[in-house]
Amino acid sequence: MQPGFDDVAGLVRRRAGIVLTEDKAYLLETRLGPVLTRFGLASLAALGAKLRSLPGEALERAVVEALTTHESSFFRDGKPFEHLRGALPKLLAARGAGERVRIWSAACSTGQEAYSVAMLAAETLGAAAQRIEILATDISADVVGRAKEGCFSQFEVQRGLPIRALMTHFTQEGTRWRIKPALRAMVRFEERNLLAETAALGRFDVIFCRNVLIYFDPPTKTRVLEMMARQLAPDGVLYLGAAETVIGLTERLAPIPGERGVYGLAARKAAA
């Protein structure tokens, strides 16, 4: 066992719900090197010792952020967005004239998912897109900061973003591309841990929580799914990653027939 592994694994599980197995031990050296340098620690063993004694909030946060995966791309796995394109007008029509459709991009990383939703809403709903409210959250303060900036490299915009959308919603700044203010204004970014209390966020009509549960153990998956079920509108939809499911984890959510990775409240399915 690599010295310090248990201490680091215990920390990320406690603070972020991430299960770090021994076969992922190689990540410690590749990802924690800058953390060791920043805090003047000579080795992973020294880091482990520090975590066992008086680590401090800054060190714990730095370790968790370094070991959290922040893979993202625009319109990643297009199926959920295809479904959302049809669902948004129906959700909007079912709401009162003064009501908004609220969308939550959980574990939003650097913002591509949330901005993809904003682009889809703008293109699908036209002027009615002003009734769409998008909240995007992530455990990492660093990636939330980058997401708020809304500035992406050429490589990032080439991953899944149609050229028409790039020309419509971005302006070029040298070798980078920045989200235009109108689209940026549709999204609010916040630093938030999915394992913390989320009731204050209110109810959502759409929740994206994709490729997050795969890092959790079953009890933590259940905890997160049931939290989202409590905050999902009766006719709302939850999008999970292609490799994720609610089956065997909660009875409060059920797959929407004929769709992959799309879920609704179980009571809704029974009523249908």
What is the per-residue pLDDT across 228-258, written as a single tens digit (0 to 9) for each? Answer: 999 999 999 999 998 899 999 999 999 999 8
What is the per-residue pLDDT across 172-217, written as a single tens digit (0 to 9) for each? Answer: 999 999 999 999 999 999 999 898 889 999 999 999 999 888 888 8
Angular region, 71: left φ>0, alpha ψ -120 to 50, beta rest = beta
Closest CA to 127 of 207, 182, 165: 182
pTM exceeds 0.75 for this model: yes
User: What is the dihedral sign for C-alpha 186, 101, 70, 197?
Assistant: positive
Closest CA to 179 of 113, 104, 115: 115
Neighbours of 159 (CB within 10 A): 14
- The pLDDT, as a whole number, for residue 4 is 79
